[in-house]
Amino acid sequence: MNAILPPGLGPAPVPLIPESAPFSAAQRAWLNGFLAGLYGGAAAAANASPAPPPPPAEEFPWHDPSLDLDERLKLAEGQALPRRLMAAMAQLDCGQCGYVCQSYGEALASGAETSTALCVPGAKATQKALKGLLAEAPAAAPKPAAMPPAAKVGREIRFVAAHRLTGPGSAKDVRHVVLDLADSGLAYEPGDSLSIAAENDPALVEAVLAVLGATEDAALREELARRRDIARPLDRTLDLLAGAARHPPHAGALRALADGEDGAEPGDADLLDLLTAFPSSRPPIADLVTSLPLLKPRLYSIASSPIACPGRVELCVGVVRAERRGRLRDGVASCHLAFRADPSVPLSASVQTSHFRLPSDPATPVLMIGPGTGIAPFRAFLQHREAMGAKGRSWLFFGDQRAATDFLFAEEIGAWQAKGTLSRLSLAWSRDGRDKVYVQHRMAEAAADLWRWLQDGAHLYVCGDASRMAKDVDAALRGIAMSEGGMSADQARDWIVALARQGRYQRDVY
Ligand SMILES: Cc1cc2nc3c(=O)[nH]c(=O)nc-3n(C[C@H](O)[C@H](O)[C@H](O)COP(=O)(O)OP(=O)(O)OC[C@H]3O[C@@H](n4cnc5c(N)ncnc54)[C@H](O)[C@@H]3O)c2cc1C
Ligand SMILES: NC(=O)c1ccc[n+]([C@@H]2O[C@H](COP(=O)([O-])OP(=O)(O)OC[C@H]3O[C@@H](n4cnc5c(N)ncnc54)[C@H](OP(=O)(O)O)[C@@H]3O)[C@@H](O)[C@H]2O)c1
């Protein structure tokens, strides 16, 4: 675990501004970061910009997807309602709600947005917290519905292939998706994400049309296939269905669902579940359709370098498919890409520019932590560094369930190691042995080396699961700062905040 090196053998601890010094927490964190940078050695010094920008005027300490909902709400206590609402969001700025976390909170607080069910990654827990916060607050004057920020106009790109990366017998179906940028004019850099607008499964759309008795309605078919989210009905759809139900037990059950009552059935219902379970509820079709949320594009971390793969963009996509109540529930975009995409039908896509960036100096060491599909941007980084002939050291931490079936991009990673593009590889297989081994266990085992890399100015990147992995990796990093850097828990937290401010700790988590 986090062995403490004997005095004199480890790197000199980074000096820290004492808690008693006359600085605010933000100033202390910034100064600590500055010292960490200075003590980070030549590479860090070379990378440090001469005049670091001042801290932003308003800070959102809860804007961190690896914090628990409770922690986020606590950090926002005493703030104005829009900020407390913002803290209840999943903090991913993923755009699935049609806003980013900050503007969704503002729209709800002002009354311009009335649906609390739009935060997909935050799911029911966020919805419940939003409802609670809004119930406590004095009612806002109702405003006309806000226009969510204009969605980027998608350009037409072409699907090429979706090869399976996981081997036979794997519990997962992960695909290497290759797309042709064609004449789209889209450009990207390693670290960016691709936003894809996929259609609903035509078979599911047909089933909904059949239960509505509207299989002849071509305009409705088009609307349900391309523009409406039929997987996650909003409160307003449930309200509408509850109001239209002619059978009182149906109305009661729908009301319980609309009110988010614990145990209300059918849980996680999609539109087809609701129409099937409550045949006495058939509101006018036009009202039903407009009550449904708009179908949002999905984001994927780009797994290719534009230099290594000119004219193409490649992704690493985990197929979302689960059985519920005897029916397969397919993720819209992942299943479209894996099973239905057709090279002759254009896909609508746009590039989401990211903060997730390789260091400007290719000599700067990079530490990449990306289990599962979190490997995606690191494949892009390694391709890019190979193509650029980057000389800096690189260390990848990867893991998944089993070495035999889940080592994504194993051949390419082996070739990068052989060539020296990848200097060090740490692997964590969670289901091969008796005990779970995760990337953060490998980090702790190599704590002294990892700390030395950071002292040498390494940039550290984390990609993948936000709710568990990114949080545990953050805690492991804090543990390493304490064991190897001799810091207290508070100092380690400040040090991490400062590292992030310097752009040396970046996360792309979902
Ligand atoms: C910045 C960013 C980068 C991302 N990068 C990647 C990436 O590189 N690779 C990647 O695979 N994904 C990535 N994602 C996630 C991706 O955007 C989609 O959310 C994901 O593919 C699911 O979309 P879908 O349309 O297939 O499923 P949806 O239609 O959105 O989901 C269908 C249903 O399945 C449920 N569901 C969702 N996940 C699961 C699950 N794991 N198991 C069971 N049910 C589930 C949902 O709650 C929903 O009810 C990223 C997300 C963000 C925000
Ligand atoms: N937003 C969405 O709609 C969406 C869609 C797809 C995926 N996701 C999420 O994105 C994540 C990535 O999915 P994925 O299938 O590529 O990989 P994953 O589920 O993160 O699994 C990759 C590896 O991480 C391990 N792991 C589990 N808990 C961990 C922890 N606390 N710390 C470190 N490692 C841990 C897993 O082990 P074990 O499983 O053996 O414990 C597995 O070995 C998933 O969590 C998934 O829920 C979200």
The mean per-residue pLDDT over the stretch 135-144 comes to 67
Strands 394-400 and 424-429 turn out to be: parallel
Q: How confident is the model at residue 340, as a pLDDT?
A: 97
DSSP output for 255-317: HHHHTT-TT-SSTT--HHHHHHH-TTB---HHHHHHHSPBPPPEEEEB-S-TTTSTTEEEEEE
- Which amino acid residue places its CA nearest to atom 36 of ligand 2? 400
Least Cα distance to 272 among 325, 311, 235 occurs for 325
pLDDT tens sequence across 323-341: 988 899 999 999 999 999 9
How do the residues of the chain divide into helix, strand and coil, expressed in percent and rounded to 5?
A: 40, 15, 45
Contact in structure between 250 and 281 (CB atoms under 8 Å): yes
Mean pLDDT, residues 404-408: 98
* Pairing of the two strands 347-352 and 155-164: antiparallel
- Which residue's CA lies nearest to atom 44 of ligand 2? 465
CA-closest residue to ligand 1 atom 46: 331
Helix axes 469-485, 489-501, angle to 10 degrees: 110
Residue minimizing CA distance to atom 48 of ligand 2: 510
DSSP state of 200: P
Q: Label residue 52 by pLDDT band (50, 70, 90).
A: low
Residues 6+ away with beta carbon under 8 Å from 24: none
The residue type of 31 is L
Q: Any idea of the CA torsion for 134, 135, 136, 138, to the nearest 10 degrees?
A: 80
Is the per-residue pLDDT at 483 higher than 70? yes
Which atom of ligand 1 has the smallest separation from the CA of 352?
A: 1
What average pLDDT does range 167-191 have in this prediction? 97
Give the mean pLDDT of 145-153: 53
pLDDT of 118 higher than 60: yes
What angle in degrees, to the nearest 10, is found between the helix axes of 81-88 and 123-136? Answer: 160
For residue 316, how far is its CA from the centre of ligand 1 (angstroms)? 12
Q: Which residues pair with 245 in a beta bridge?
A: 281
In whole angstroms, give the CA distance from residue 369 to residue 399.
9
- Token pair 């590479």 in the structure block, residue: 43
Report residue 17 as tokens.
């501004």
Residue nearest to atom 33 of ligand 2 (CA): 469
Q: Is the CB of residue 193 below 6 angstroms from any atom belonging to ligand 1?
A: yes
**Token pair in block for residue 205:** 């759309």
Q: Lowest-confidence range among 114-128, 139-153, 195-209, 261-275?
A: 139-153
Neighbours of 151 (CB within 10 A): 14
Q: Is 299 in the pocket of ligand 1 (CB under 6 A)?
A: yes
Whose CA is closest to 98, among 329, 293, 252?
293
- Ligand at minimal distance from the CA of 376 is 1
The CB of 463 under 6 Å from ligand 1? The reply is no
The protein residue whose alpha carbon is closest to atom 7 in ligand 1 is 300
User: Domains (ranges, CATH) in the chain?
Assistant: 69-91+99-136 (no CATH), 155-199+296-352 (2.40.30.10), 202-291 (1.20.990), 366-509 (3.40.50.80)
pLDDT at 233 over 60: yes
User: Is the distance from the beta carbon of residue 179 to the nearest atom of ligand 1 less than 6 Å?
Assistant: no
The answer to whether the CB of 126 is under 6 A from ligand 1 is no
462 alpha carbon – ligand 2 mean position (Å): 13
Closest ligand to 371 CA?
2
- Hey, whose CA ends up nearest to atom 30 of ligand 2? 469
The pLDDT of residue 9:
34
Q: What is the mean pLDDT of the chain?
A: 88
- CA–centroid distance, residue 442 to ligand 1 (Å): 27
Q: Which residue has the higher pLDDT, 196 or 143?
A: 196
Which residues are registered as beta bridge partners of 347? 157
Q: What is the mean pLDDT of residues 224-240?
A: 92
Residue 207: pLDDT above 50? Answer: yes
Closest ligand to the CA of 66: 2
Residue 449 has pLDDT above 50, yes or no: yes
Task: State what percent of residues in the chain have pLDDT above 70.
Answer: 86
Nearest CA to ligand 2 atom 21: 372
Q: Is the pLDDT of residue 129 over 50?
A: yes
Q: How far is the CA of 318 from the centre of ligand 1 (A)?
A: 8
Q: Which pLDDT score, from 0 to 100, does residue 98 have?
A: 78
Q: Is the pLDDT of residue 45 over 50?
A: no
Residue 364 C-alpha from the chain's centroid = 26
Scan for tokens 């890019």, then name that residue: 384
- Residue 231, pLDDT > 80, answer yes
If you take atom 41 of ligand 1, which residue's CA is the nearest one?
320
Q: What is the pLDDT of residue 12?
A: 44
Q: Which ligand is nearest to the CA of 201?
A: 1
Asked if residue 317 has its Cβ within 6 Å of ligand 1, the reply is yes
What is the distance in A from the centroid of ligand 2 to the CA of 372? 6
Separation between Cα atoms, residue 225 and residue 203, nearest integer Å: 10
Angle at 457 between CA 455 and CA 463, to 5 degrees: 105
- State in Å: Cα 510 to ligand 2 middle: 10
Lowest mean pLDDT among 40-49, 84-93, 131-140, 304-313: 40-49
* Percentage of the chain lying above the pLDDT 90 cut: 70
The CA–CA distances, whole Å, from 207 to 104, 213, 271 equal 33, 10, 10
* Mean local confidence (pLDDT), 457-481: 94
Pocket of ligand 2 (CB under 6 A): 121, 172, 318, 320, 371-373, 399-401, 430-431, 436, 438-440, 464-465, 468-469, 472, 510
Mean per-residue pLDDT, 411-439:
97
Q: Which atom of ligand 1 is nearest to the CA of 268?
A: 49
Residue type, 437: V
pLDDT category at 2 given cuts 50, 70, 90 is very low
At residue 486, the pLDDT reads 97
In this structure, which residue's CA is closest to atom 17 in ligand 2? Answer: 372
- What pLDDT is stored for residue 230 in this prediction? 96
Residue 80 token pair: 């104005």
| pLDDT tier at 82, thresholds 50, 70, 90 | very high
Instruction: Tell me the mean pLDDT in the region 89-116.
Output: 87
- The DSSP element (H or E) to which 156 belongs, if any, is strand 155-164
Least distant ligand from the CA of 509: 1
Q: How does pLDDT run across 262-318, given as a tens digit for each residue?
A: 888 888 899 999 999 999 999 999 999 999 989 989 999 999 999 999 999 999 999
**Structure confidence at residue 176 (pLDDT):** 98
Helix (H) or strand (E) holding 375: none
Whether the per-residue pLDDT at 41 is higher than 70: the answer is: no
Ligand in nearest proximity to the CA of 432: 2
Please say if the pLDDT value at position 40 is more than 50: no
Contact 301, 463 (CB under 8 A): yes
338 lines ligand 1 (CB under 6 A): no
Checking DSSP bridges between strand 327-330 and strand 321-324, what pairing results, if any? Answer: antiparallel
- Whether the CB of 510 sits within 6 Å of ligand 1: yes
Among 174, 469, 471, which residue has the most ligand 2 atoms within 8 Å of its CB, making it the best to mutate?
469
